[in-house]
């Protein structure tokens, strides 16, 4: 069974630009979560989508947004990029819901560099 895939793997952008990252979950998984990882802040939760609906959101500015499609694939968008947005963006998928057995599986990440 294929794992979580993320594209692109690497991106270089300049300040003020916008970027879209893509995530394809494991087949059958309906929940997709996004995380930002930086050396200073570690891993921080961005948002979670289930059945095309955002169910939860972390403490990030409105420049960070996302969506989920009917096939459970998800995209996240960052507008008006800032230098501090440089990070590894990780996507995770899980079956669904809040069950205690729900295990999250992560993709390889997209490395975003903002110049």
Partner 1 sequence: KQEVTQIPAALSVPEGENLVLNCSFTDSAIYNLQWFRQDPGKGLTSLLLIQSSQREQTSGRLNASLDKSSGRSTLYIAASQPGDSATYLCAVRPRAGGTSYGKLTFGQGTILTVHP
Shortest Cβ 50–partner 1 spacing (Å) = 7
Dig out the tokens for 65 from the structure.
């947004």
Contact by Cβ (8 Å): 15, 84 = no
Stretch that binds partner 1, among 17-25, 30-38, 60-68, 79-87 (CB under 8 A): 30-38
Shortest Cβ 43–partner 1 spacing (Å) = 4
Say whether residue 31 binds partner 1 (CB under 8 A). yes
Shortest Cβ 84–partner 1 spacing (Å) = 19
Strand partners, 7: 22
Footprint on residues 36-55 left by partner 1 (CB under 8 A): 42-43, 45, 47-50, 55
**What's the DSSP call for residue 107?**
-
Total count of residues recorded for the chain: 115
Q: How far apart are CA 104 and CA 54, in angstroms?
A: 17
Does a cis peptide bond (omega within 30 degrees of 0) precede residue 7? no
The residue from 17, 22, 86, 104 that contacts partner 1 (CB under 8 A) is 104
**What's the DSSP call for residue 25?**
P
What residues line the site for partner 1 (CB under 8 A)? 4, 6, 31-33, 35, 42-43, 45, 47-50, 55-56, 58, 88, 90, 92, 94, 98-109, 111
């Amino acid at each position: 069974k294929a794992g979580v895939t993320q594209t692109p793997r690497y991106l270089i952008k300049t300040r003020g630009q916008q970027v879209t990252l893509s995530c394809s979950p494991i087949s059958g998984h309906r929940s997709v979560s996004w995380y930002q990882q930086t050396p200073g802040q570690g891993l921080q939760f961005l948002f979670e989508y289930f059945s095309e609906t955002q169910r939860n959101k972390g403490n990030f500015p409105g420049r960070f947004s996302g969506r989920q499609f009917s096939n459970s694939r998800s995209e996240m968008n960052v507008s008006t990029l800032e230098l501090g947005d440089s990070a590894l963006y990780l996507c995770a998928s899980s079956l669904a819901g809040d069950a205690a057995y729900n295990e999250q599986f992560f993709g390889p990440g997209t490395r975003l560099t903002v110049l």
